[in-house]
Amino acid sequence: MTSVTVTTQKVITLTVAEVSSLLGVSTATIYKMVRDGEVPHFKVRGKILFNRDVIEAWTRGEQNGGV
């Protein structure tokens, strides 16, 4: 008998579209928030990404500038 182990990994980065969906705002709003430094983010080769844990903490007000 062969045993199969399935592991699930939590996605640690979010895209602009995923954050906009999570927050219930448009992608344009997210881009503006990024431009204005209102939301924690980072870039990889010019692509804007967000750390899921940081965004979740930020939305709870645990990070500076939380909503």
- 4-40: per-residue pLDDT in tens? 766 667 779 999 999 999 999 999 999 999 999 999 9
Answer whether residue 57 shows pLDDT above 90: yes
| pLDDT at position 43 | 97
What is the distance between the alpha carbons of residues 10 and 28, in angstroms, rounded to a whole number?
A: 26
Looking at the DSSP bridge assignments, the partners of residue 42 are 49
* pTM of the shown model: 0.77
Residue-wise burial string across 6-30, b where 16 or more C-beta atoms lie within 10 A, e elsewhere: eeeeeeeebebebbbeebeeeeebb
| pLDDT at position 2 | 74
Contact status, residue 55 vs residue 14, Cβ threshold 8 Å: yes
| pLDDT at position 54 | 96
Contact status, residue 12 vs residue 51, Cβ threshold 8 Å: yes
